[in-house]
Amino acid sequence: MATFVSADWVRERLGATGVVVIDPRSAMRYLMGHLQAAVSMPYKKLTDAQGKLLPDSLLAEALGQIGLGDWDTPVIYDGRDGRNAAMLAWVLEYLGRDDVHIMDVTFQRWVDEGGEIFYRPVTADSRKFSARPKPQFRAALADVSANSGAKVVDLRSRDEFDGDEEMDERPGHVPGSLNIEWSELAGDDGQLLCTEDKARGLLEAAGVRPGDPVVALCRSGVRAALGSLAWRRLGYDVRLYPGSYLEYMASGLPVER
């Protein structure tokens, strides 16, 4: 499980040998200001032209290209909603890393508290990143079927879940799935995530009990990563379905609306 660390913890390690600070926001936001020595890794660099997560070997290659080697410590920070950090943290954990660190406040909070920011892009020498996938972190199409035994939690907006937004060819949701909007898990007052009590309460209100296996999905996986991060932090058995509703919809399986 990723370790949440304070801004002071991050500040003390900026520029240290063996620490790779990663900015998963868009390239534009990165150029508008970033932490010292932070390298840019927008989530789009980890997907293909259709938005599908790259194969494991290409994920490892992309991470190595930003200078993250097998013996380097990754430290991630993010903007106001945390979903990019959550997705990158999931990718790293899925690929076998157990040393992932996430700054527990947003970049905006860092700036507001007088944290130094830099504008020049940071380049790094490529390193060897070895992928050691942990399949228990990742769900597939079969895991959202009616007979999988998991509680399927859809983190899209309520309108998307109900099929009221015509952004998909087959609007709606996986039959029997539960809906918790991803934005409910974003933090307040500069915190990256909501409180643990709120994250737990959202699951309980949806009918998920401790011990229930959970599959988190959204439209393409990124928003669902925030739920995966928040609930795994509490000890829930959560797998992320990176194919999410786009893959499910294309499969021809039944859709509820």
pLDDT tens profile 112-133: 999 999 999 999 999 999 999 9
Q: Is the pLDDT of residue 243 over 70?
A: yes
> Which of these ranges, 99-113, 159-173, 200-214, has the smallest mean pLDDT?
159-173
Three-state DSSP state, 179? strand
Q: Is the pLDDT of residue 167 over 90?
A: no
Q: Is the pLDDT of residue 257 over 80?
A: yes
Query: What average pLDDT does the segment 210-216 reach?
Result: 95
Number of domains in the chain: 2
pLDDT at 146: 66
Q: Which two tokens stand for residue 84?
A: 């990019």
Three-state DSSP state, 96? coil
- How large is the angle between the packed helices 83-94 and 222-233, nearest 10 degrees? 70
Q: Are residues 14 and 119 in the same domain?
A: yes
Q: Are residues 113 and 154 in the same domain?
A: no
Q: Are residues 107 and 192 in the same domain?
A: no
At a CB cut-off of 8 Å and minimum separation 6, what does 168 contact? 160, 219, 245, 246, 249
Asked, for residue 256, whether it belongs to a domain, the answer is: no
Q: Are residues 54 and 176 in the same domain?
A: no
pLDDT in tens, 52-94: 999 999 999 999 999 999 999 999 999 989 999 999 999 999 9
pLDDT mean across residues, the chain:
95
pLDDT at 45: 94
Q: Are residues 171 and 193 in the same domain?
A: yes
The CA angle 87-93-96, to the nearest 5 degrees, is: 145
Other beta carbons within 10 Å of 181 = 19
Q: Are residues 149 and 82 in the same domain?
A: no
Residues of the domain holding 193: 138-251
Q: Are residues 112 and 215 in the same domain?
A: no
Q: What is the pTM of this model?
A: 0.96
Query: From CA 22, how far away is CA 39, in angstroms rounded?
Result: 5
Long-range contacts of 113-118 (CB under 8 A, 24+ apart): 113/7, 115/7, 115/11, 115/35, 116/35, 116/36, 117/33, 117/34, 117/35, 118/33, 118/34, 118/35, 118/36, 118/37, 118/38
Query: What average pLDDT does the segment 22-42 reach?
Result: 97
Query: From CA 54, how far away is CA 57, in angstroms rounded?
Result: 8
pLDDT at 121: 97
Other beta carbons within 10 Å of 162 = 15
Q: Is the pLDDT of residue 168 over 90?
A: no
Q: Is the pLDDT of residue 101 over 70?
A: yes
Query: From CA 184, how far away is CA 194, in angstroms rounded?
Result: 8
DSSP letter string, 181-229:
-GGGGB-STTBSB--HHHHHHHHHHHTPPTT--EEEE-SSSHHHHHHHH
pLDDT at 147: 74
Asked, for residue 88, whether it belongs to a domain, the answer is: yes
